[in-house]
Amino acid sequence: MVKSNNSKKFLQYRQKYPFFVYKGFDSQYSDKGLRVQFHFNLSDKYSFHPTMIIPFKDFFIKDNIRGEMIDNLLFHIGMIELLSYWKAACPPTIMIESSSLNEEQIKWWKKLYYNGLGEFFYLNSIETDIDSFVNIVSKPGVPNPPFTIPLQESAIIPIGGGKDSIVTLELLNHNAGNIPMVLNPRPASTSAVMKRGYYYDSVFEINRTIDPLLLELNSRGFLNGHTPFSALLAFSSALAAIMAGRKNIALSNESSANESTIIGSSINHQYSKSIEFEGDFRWYLKKFITPGLEYFSFLRPLNELQIARLFSGFPDYFSVFRSCNVGSKTDTWCGECPKCLFTYIILSPFIESVKLESIFGKNLLNDPGLLPVLNELAGVSQTKPFDCIGTIEEVNAALVNLIRKIPDTELPALLREYKDSEAYIRYQQFDYQSLLGTFNPEHFLPVEYENLLRSYLHD
């Protein structure tokens, strides 16, 4: 994993750009939908105006698409959106001019910012702590009170186009009132919902744009890196649930997302997908926005192997699902990145090799150039890839199970290398079946959703 030594730049920028301002947002409603533009300012030297556009759909609840409750949610979306622009210079003070936050809220936001930027700090060699990295100053006043409105029992289901959200979409297909939600539609996500029988008018769509000025600053050497995208998805899905009048928000994050990326640390690429953030967000949602929404990950009790096994039962999606970030713009699997190799490995116990090769374009386990990636995935290296992947245990369980099925003379190149590693020695007696039979009790599923998920595991 390549790190940049930007510690000096971090300190210099904080002196040159001492404050960042969240000035507010504008929203316009029309028969075409909702358009929102946020306004951020970096020390009176640069201004950013990213937008969010939500096309109008017939399932919107007329009384829910405007007013104070929507403005409160839009303000909170801006609170997470600002992080992409703040991190360019990491000013020591964030000034909130658009609304008021109390001390409890400021503490919550500081925790999210700090943990959500763990990868950013690590890869930029920035040494800081939760107390000193930023000071949030809010406009004086009383925070907006939470609201209560009638909501249907069905769910908003965010769809990214990967195997996990497809499994959730399929397993929850019994409820006709469910609505798929797509943030920045791409071929994989739109193809997935169409495979399930949804059409454009039945999908909640959000189009988010990045201010081009940020990309220009990045090209000029300003600080850049990962932000907690799933936290933005969380607030956006809450907005979708209110506008569509749905009570439940069913995410597709699994128990594997809780594992740290840097072994022995709290740095986690998937922090905003973790059970810790999920619990924090549920608390914040109910206390400061609305107590009526239920935000949970439907797949939280499961591990990646269990999800892969369930996904293997939906072959109609094999040709359309995508999880590769590198190939997202071209709707392809790049075949070179950690996400591609991980997905190939985790599906290998359940989908025959010939079919996997047709999905990915080649046998990834026969590519010697992917050995460093394999070592990171299997825990041979100290650092896992900074990507949305499963645990070291799950990867090794899949690899060992695969080796048991293939004669030594036919092992692909990566499996031959892996068989000589300490990881294989450590995991070769591992009880693979135990992973397929687990049900993690650490989750927030409503009882009816838990019972439904258990019924699919026992089929």
CB 67 within 8 A of CB 112: no
- Residue 370 one-letter amino acid: L
Residue 181 is given by DSSP the state E
Whether 327 and 273 map to the same domain: the answer is: no
Q: Burial of 363 by CB count in 10 Å (0-12 exposed, 13-18 middle, 19+ buried)?
A: middle
Whether 284 and 135 map to the same domain: the answer is: yes
For 257: left if phi > 0, alpha if psi spans -120 to 50, otherwise beta; the answer is alpha
CA distance 389 to 377: 8
Query: Which residue(s) pair with 164 in the sheet?
Result: none
Q: Are strands 204-209 and 51-55 parallel, antiparallel or unpaired?
A: antiparallel
Whether 188 and 227 map to the same domain: the answer is: yes
Whether 272 and 189 map to the same domain: the answer is: yes
Burial 297-331 (b: 16+ CB within 10 A, else e): bbbbbbbbbbbbbbbbebeebbebbbbbeebbeee
**Structural domain count of the chain:** 2
Cα→Cα distances 229→117, 143, 225, 332, Å: 11, 25, 12, 21
Tell me which residues of the chain have a pLDDT lower than 70.
1-2, 458-459
Whether 224 and 262 map to the same domain: the answer is: yes
Contacts of 367 (CB under 8 A, 6+ apart): 335, 413, 414
Whether 349 and 279 map to the same domain: the answer is: no
CA distance 223 to 16: 13
Whether 198 and 276 map to the same domain: the answer is: yes
Residue 305 falls within a domain, yes or no?
Answer: no
Residue where a domain stops, chosen among 297, 330, 359: 297
Residue where a domain stops, chosen among 264, 297, 330: 297
Residue 151 falls within a domain, yes or no?
Answer: no
Q: What is the pLDDT of residue 1?
A: 57
Whether 53 and 89 map to the same domain: the answer is: yes
Whether 235 and 128 map to the same domain: the answer is: yes
pTM of the model: 0.95
Whether 112 and 193 map to the same domain: the answer is: yes
Q: What is the pLDDT of residue 264?
A: 76
Whether 167 and 21 map to the same domain: the answer is: yes
Q: What is the pLDDT of residue 347?
A: 97
Residue 303 falls within a domain, yes or no?
Answer: no
Q: What is the pLDDT of residue 329?
A: 83
Q: What is the pLDDT of residue 459?
A: 54
CB 157 within 8 A of CB 167: no
CB 74 within 8 A of CB 27: yes
Q: With residue 289 as reference, give the H or E element that holds it.
A: none
**Residue whose C-alpha is closest to residue 180's, from 202, 206, 208:** 202
Output the CA torsion sign for 345, 168, 33, 238: negative
Residue 247 falls within a domain, yes or no?
Answer: yes
Q: What is the pLDDT of residue 398?
A: 95
Residue 55 falls within a domain, yes or no?
Answer: yes
CA distance 254 to 389: 10
The residue range of the domain holding 119 is 14-141+163-297
Residue where a domain stops, chosen among 297, 332, 366: 297
Residue 457 falls within a domain, yes or no?
Answer: no
**Residue whose C-alpha is closest to residue 140's, from 184, 97, 92, 76:** 97
CA distance 281 to 278: 5
CB 211 within 8 A of CB 85: yes
Q: What is the pLDDT of residue 429?
A: 85
Whether 33 and 180 map to the same domain: the answer is: yes
Encoded tokens for 323: 């999880």
Encoded tokens for 96: 């909130």
Contacts of 317 (CB under 8 A, 6+ apart): 163, 166, 192, 195, 311
Q: What is the pLDDT of residue 14?
A: 98
Residue 409 falls within a domain, yes or no?
Answer: yes
Contacts of 65 (CB under 8 A, 6+ apart): 29, 34, 243
CA distance 48 to 216: 12
Residue 229 falls within a domain, yes or no?
Answer: yes
CA distance 63 to 201: 19
